[in-house]
Structure 1
Amino acid sequence: MSMFSIFNVSGSAISSQSQRLNVVASNLANVDAVAGPDGQAYKARQVVFETTLMGAESAAGVRVSGITESNEPFKRVHNPSHPAADEAGYVTQSNVNPVEEMVNMISASRSYQNNVEVMNTAKSLLLKTLQMGQ
């Protein structure tokens, strides 16, 4: 693998983690969302990654292959005075688990930062290699 492949691999990881962070942000923004007019509350979403080959070299990167919705049951809170309450007085809320989402956010953020550091280190090594040739 050439030094330039490192930029492709880390770049693909940074792009994928950025998408993951956007999905986590969307989930966290809808933690307390109640059922909409269609009767369905917001479903938590998760990013699905897959390995992908990067160019002619045998370097493997990552890409987002899709975004899935959670099958966890919705939260039901008894609040008969809420305008969205059903006949029994329950309000259906999203199935987003804020603790899981915070863990996801920290994991994605660290992965993003690590890949930025990999790119900075590779850049530094390439510059030092060029300086040695002078």
Structure 2
Amino acid sequence: MDLESAMTIAAAGMKAQSVRLRVTAENLANAESTASTPGGDPFQRKTVSFANRRDAATGLELVTIDRYGVDRSPFERRYEPGHPAADAAGYVKYPNVNPLLELADMREAQRSYEANLNALQLARAMIGRTLDLLR
């Protein structure tokens, strides 16, 4: 594998992890949001799936976003009869977002992003050193 291919693969990994970070941040931002109508459904946790796809231009296997989805787990229900989003029984549905799980996912995405960034920087440095040797 040449250095340009290594940089392309690392850049694709960084792009995928940045999408993952954005989705996780959106989940965290909406962790306590409720429906705008009484008895309505609140924000649903979003998910992202990755896949390896062959890039026709370079012939490399690159990580890409396969699909966006939503978590189908049940919403948390809390008894809050005075809340504007409460149903007839006084229960309010809260998002199916677990902040601890989201923070762990964010940390993992951050570390994966950093690993790809380090690989990209190392390939750039190696190209720079090669050019210095050729002078």
TM-score (norm: length of structure 2): 0.92
1:18 counterpart residue number? 18
Q: Provide Cα deviations, 1:36-64, integer angstroms capped at 9, x if missing partner.
A: 33811111011110001234555321011
1:7 counterpart residue number? 7
What amino acid does structure 2 have at the position aligned with 1:31? A
CA distance in 2, matches of 1:106, 1:32: 21
1:62 counterpart residue number? 63
**RMSD of aligned residue pairs (Cα, Å):** 1.5
Cα shift at 1:71 = 0.7
The answer to whether the 8 A contact 1:33-1:42 is kept is yes
What amino acid does structure 2 have at the position aligned with 1:12? A
The answer to whether the 8 A contact 1:8-1:54 is kept is no
What amino acid does structure 1 have at the position aligned with 2:86? A
Where does the alignment leave 5 or more consecutive residues of structure 1 unmatched?
none
Mapping 1:69-80, distance limit 5 Å: 69-80=70-81
1:33 counterpart residue number? 33
SS in 2 for 1:47: strand
CA distance in 2, matches of 1:118, 1:56: 21
TM-score (norm: length of structure 1): 0.93
What amino acid does structure 1 have at the position aligned with 2:25? A
Where does the alignment leave 5 or more consecutive residues of structure 2 unmatched?
none
SS in 2 for 1:65: strand
Cα shift at 1:122 = 0.4
SS in 2 for 1:115: helix
The percentage of counterpart residues that share the same residue type is: 34
1:106 counterpart residue number? 107
1:117 counterpart residue number? 118
Runs of 4+ in 1 over 6 A off after TM superposition: none
